[in-house]
Chains A and B, each alone.
Chain A
Amino acid sequence: NAGVTQTPKFRVLKTGQSMTLLCAQDMNHEYMYWYRQDPGMGLRLIHYSVGEGTTAKGEVPDGYNVSRLKKQNFLLGLESAAPSQTSVYFCASSRRMNTEAFFGQGTRLTVV
Chain B
Amino acid sequence: QKEVEQDPGPLSVPEGAIVSLNCTYSNSAFQYFMWYRQYSRKGPELLMYTYSSGNKEDGRFTAQVDKSSKYISLFIRDSQPSDSATYLCAMKVDTGNQFYFGTGTSLTVIP
Contacts and interface: CB of A to CB of B under 8 A. Distances in A.
Interface of A: 4, 31, 33, 35, 40-45, 48, 50, 56, 58-59, 90, 97-98, 100-106
Contact of B97 (A41, A48, A102): A48
Given A103-B43, A103-B44, A105-B43, A98 B94 contact: yes
Nearest to B95: A97
B60 interface: no
Contacts of B95: 97
Nearest to A43: B101
A34 to B, nearest CB: 12
Contact of B103 (A4, A41, A59, A106): A41
A6 to B, nearest CB: 8
A106 B42 contact: yes
Nearest to B100: A45
A42 B6 CA distance: 10
Interface of B: 6, 8, 31-32, 34, 36, 41-46, 49, 88, 90, 92, 94-99, 101-104
Given A40-B8, A98-B32, A98-B92, A45 B99 contact: yes
Which among B36, B88, B99 has the highest number of chain A CB atoms within 10 Å? B99
B79 to A, nearest CB: 23
A105 B42 contact: yes
B87 to A, nearest CB: 12
Contact of A43 (B32, B42, B88): B88
B97 A100 contact: no
B98 A45 contact: yes
B43 A42 contact: no
Contacts of B49: 100
Contact of A40 (B41, B45, B98, B103): B103
A42 B103 contact: yes
A14 B67 CA distance: 47
Given A100-B34, A101-B90, 16 more contacts: A33-B99, A35-B101, A40-B8, A40-B103, A41-B103, A43-B99, A43-B101, A48-B97, A50-B97, A97-B95, A97-B97, A98-B32, A98-B94, A100-B46, A103-B43, A103-B44
